[in-house]
Structure 1
Amino acid sequence: MATPELAAARKPITNHLAEVVDSVKDLDDGEVNDIGPHEVKGCGAAICTVDGHLYAAGDADQTFAIQSISKAFTYALALEERGHDWVDERINVEPSGEAFNEISLVGEPGRPANPLVNIGAIAACWCVPEERFPRILDFYERLAGRSLELDEEIYRAEGKSGSRNRALGWLLRWAEVIDEDPDDALDAYTRQCSVQVTAKDLAVMGATLANRGVQPVTGERLMSEEVAERVLSVMATCGMYDDAGEWMIRVGMPAKSGVGGGIVSAAPGQLGLGTFGPRLDKHGNSVRGTLISERLAHDFDLHFARVPKPHHSTVRRVVDLCPQARLVELQGDLAFLGIEAALEAVLEAARDRPAVVVDMTRVRHVVAHAKALLPQVSQRLEETGHRLLVIGEGDQLGDATVCANAEEALARLEP
């Protein structure tokens, strides 16, 4: 294990996340949704990798109502409890092209367009068997890896203004999508929207989807791979309402927003991202959260269309170069998880050596932000009495100390 001092070399990722949050936290575009008797303020973001590493910045511990983000996870629970065929008979998976609270069913027989509009979410709640809300809350808690609380004030406020949702529930009953009084499902839906979460919680929950249904911190499988794939697919096409197309162009990750100011998104196989910013755009999506997500997707090549080239692993080998230095050879594409693996290898190499030489001649592609990370890691290591030298092309490595080969690196290490 690396010492606490050397562990500080991982801070560049957190520092970059903080820089992105700071760049948008004072924006006053958009309006705060009137979701209850008290206003929640702040701006924060968190990243959780499929390996369970968590990075956070800003007001990432600020609690807020999960609201419509809950729809994606209750849909996952319904699929787990009932199976695809049973749920598909009651809820479609197509973009609606209508407002999220539109009073409508589509097709013949009539079904909700998808589980991420209100009428579909109410149907998904009904699909969860008896003791609906306790089962839903337990599922959310296992996804987040901690106990979550219901905001009673928001629950009461939502209940008082829920006449439209009650109309949706009785439309579902009339159309025989559900076969009983909808009041219990409506109450469970109102309660699930009032559960308090943080950006950190959303990051871990999103990472569970990105990790094919396995919670990355606890290691518990919470849904099958097939369910995780289906939920991500529906999020990609329907999660951001009538802004879904623009979101996928600008950000390129399956996502779900809520009027509480949160957004959860996932880069399959890599990470989950949770953001919080209460001011909403005309589509009901967080202005600050959208900008944070777009920036990070660009900086770390998270857009679904930027598929990394195949490679075996980031770290090719670690060997002793001399009694004073250890050599870390990297290869392939240095994307977000590759950056993490490289940082861990450097930290471990520096544990009992005063110098580390990183060979990047076999690295084919470096994401935008990795070029800025290497000099920061070098600086952090210097603060703990270590040196970092890099073998590779100068234009690929930013301001890092660059050597042409191992021989030059050894020469630079001589006193």
Structure 2
Amino acid sequence: MSKYSNTATYRASVTLNVLIKSPVSNKAERFDYVMDFLKSMAGNEYLGFSNATFQSEKETGDRNYAIGYYLKEKKCFPSNSDMIAALDFYFQLCSIEVTCESGSVIAATLANGGICPITGERVLSAEAVRNTLSLMHSCGMYDFSGQFAFHVGLPAKSGVSGAVLLVVPNVMGMMCWSPPLDRTGNSVRGIHFCQNLVSNFNFHNYDNLRHFTKKNDPRRVYDDLVRNKSVVNLMFAAYSGDVGALRRFALSAVNMEQRDYDSRTALHIAAAEGHVEAVIFLTEVCKVNPNVKDRWGNTPLDDAMQFSHSAVVSVLEEYQRVYSDIDSQSDTEEQKATMETLKSVV
């Protein structure tokens, strides 16, 4: 990962290497510190070191040495720091090896706000994760970073090995590997994979805009979970006699006749608790069916009578008569419409 087309990013990396752990610490101590830190991010999955890569970087890193001396001239390094030692340490960090599995755990730790999903350990603070993802989003893909941010819209980091580490915040992290590189040093197939991923799922940073083309969203709460939560909230409002909450549910197009696991409706609950105003709202405004029976064969009127709520009984008895008349009238009108249709066909 030592090929930095973005010189500014490289400058920051080399300069910050001097500050890792302590400026007076030797390279071995700082390297062990970074390895332990990365192992924590990877959930103790595989992490290795390639000495061949390290030696190659030292022998062919002329541009890196040139930039290092430029930084030294501009006094970018702390006082009493060794620029050559900082470069050696940088080359060491560029030679750390991961697998797709361990790299994906590192990405998942970033996606999880700094908490490793395997061990549950907090490795990074939320602020550090935000700053890291911001850097990855702006310059993690070399000179292709701008186009990647435009087309994919996710923080990522590529390496000249052909690896691409991708983070979907609050969802997942992944690493893919395919050695053939493009002219900017990124994996050709890795970029294609990221683009295809975003074309199918709404992971792009701006796919959540209103009226945007709908894509598959793994973050969407499934319909069953939404329905169960809706039932619980509706039943609790009826149990509490909270007419304001019932009104909000009705205005939100919630099905006011949905049932719980005992086949009881909100009208059953409100009638059993003796909440007259809630019963009046459910009957006169929501026009719910008063004849629904629960698992024991009881209607809301039966519950009101069982618990001696006389005011609720009066409301439900009157509503049942009105509801029966409306129901029979609608049946008659439906029959007439059916007959008219048959006559027109004939």
TM above 0.5, yes or no, is yes
Residue 8 of structure 2 is aligned to residue 126 of structure 1: no
* Residue 59 of structure 2 is aligned to residue 167 of structure 1: no
1:250-289 counterparts in 2 under 5 A? Answer: 250-289=151-190
- Runs of 5+ consecutive residues of structure 2 not aligned to the other structure: 228-346
User: Partners of 2:144 and 2:216 in 1: how far apart?
Assistant: 31
- Tell me the CA shift for residue 308 of structure 1: 7.8
Contact 1:151-1:194 within 8 A present in 2 as well:
yes
State which of 162, 178, 188 in structure 1 corresponds to 2:77: 178
1:148 to 27, 36, 47: 47
Is 1:336 equivalent to 2:218 in the alignment?
yes
In 2: Cα distance, 1:223 partner to 1:132 partner: 18
The CA deviation string for residues 78-110 of structure 1, in whole angstroms up to 9 with x for no partner, is: xxxxxxxxxxxxxxxxxxxxx6264xxxxxxxx
> What is aligned with 2:201?
300
CA distance in 1, matches of 2:16, 2:83: 12
Alignment of 1:67-82 (within 5 A): 67-68=1-2
Alpha-carbon shift at residue 222 of structure 1 (Å): 0.9
Identity among equivalent positions (%) equals: 35
Q: Is the Cα contact below 8 Å between 2:6 and 2:142 reproduced in 1?
A: no
Larger radius of gyration: 2
* 2:191 partner amino acid: T
Which runs of structure 2 are paired with 1:384-403 in the superposition (5 Å)? none
1:164 positional shift: 2.1
The reply to whether residue 242 of structure 1 matches residue 147 of structure 2 is no
Alignment of 1:323-362 (within 5 A): 335-338=217-220, 359=224
**Residue 359 of structure 1, CA deviation:** 5.0
CA RMSD of aligned residues (A): 2.6
Contact 1:262 1:275 in 2 (8 A): yes
**Is 1:229 aligned to residue 130 of structure 2?**
yes
Q: Quick one: higher RCO (CA 8 Å, sep 6+), 1 or 2?
A: 1
| Structure 1 residue 285 displacement after superposition | 0.8
Q: 1:188 to 1:229 in 2, by over 3 A?
A: same
1:205 aligns with 2:106: yes
Determine helix, strand or coil for the equivalent of 2:47: coil
- Correspondent of 2:5 among 90, 100, 104: 100
Equivalent residues in 2 for 1:36-47, closer than 5 Å: none
What is the Cα deviation at residue 137 of structure 1?
1.5
Give the 3 Å change call, closer, same or farther, for CA 268–160 of structure 1 in structure 2.
same
More strand by share: 1
8 Å CA contact 2:136, 2:157 repeated in 1: yes
Q: Where does structure 1 lack aligned partners over 5 or more consecutive residues?
A: 1-66, 70-98, 103-112, 310-332, 343-357, 363-415
Query: Which amino acid is the alignment partner of residue 196 of structure 1?
Result: E
Matched residue, 2:56? 157
- Please give the per-residue CA displacement for 1:173-207, whole angstroms capped at 9, x wherever unaligned: 22221132212221111111111112222221111
State the alpha-carbon separation in 1 of the partners of residues 148 and 217 from structure 2.
21
Q: Which structure shows the bigger proportion of residues in helix conformation?
A: 2
Relative to structure 1, is the Cα distance of residues 361 and 139 closer, same or farther in structure 2, using a 3 angstrom cutoff? closer
Query: 1:361 Cα shift?
Result: 9.1
TM-score normalized with structure 1 length: 0.48
* 2:90 counterpart letter in structure 1: Y
Deviations 1:58-84 (A, max 9, x none): xxxxxxxxx259xxxxxxxxxxxxxxx
